[in-house]
Amino acid sequence: MSATAEFPTNLDIILDVPVKLTVELGSCQMPMRDVLRLAMGSVVQLDKVADAPVDLFVNQKLVARGEVVVVEDQFGIKITEVIGATT
């Protein structure tokens, strides 16, 4: 499907603009004293369970959720939910 068939013509100018995609596995809070003690091999416990969906952000805006997958030797994300999409 071509870009012009998929998007209005006036959007063509921005369709090739790069954006930053970020996947958030989870987060935590810890005191600076513990951060300074982190070393190779340290484990940081996150606030999500292992099988919970990860969040996909585009320029810091949540756009989707998905599952972590391995593609060859690299991590990937299989999209399971698009935020705000209506079908």
| Region class of 52: left (phi > 0), else alpha (psi between -120 and 50), else beta | beta
Number of domain units in the chain: 1
Determine the pLDDT at residue 71.
93
Flag whether 68 is in a domain.
yes
CATH code for the domain in which residue 19 is found: 2.30.330.10
Flag whether 45 is in a domain.
yes
Flag whether 1 is in a domain.
no
Confidence of residue 13 (pLDDT cuts 50, 70, 90): confident
Determine the pLDDT at residue 85.
61
Is the pTM for the entire model greater than 0.75?
no
Flag whether 8 is in a domain.
no
Flag whether 5 is in a domain.
no
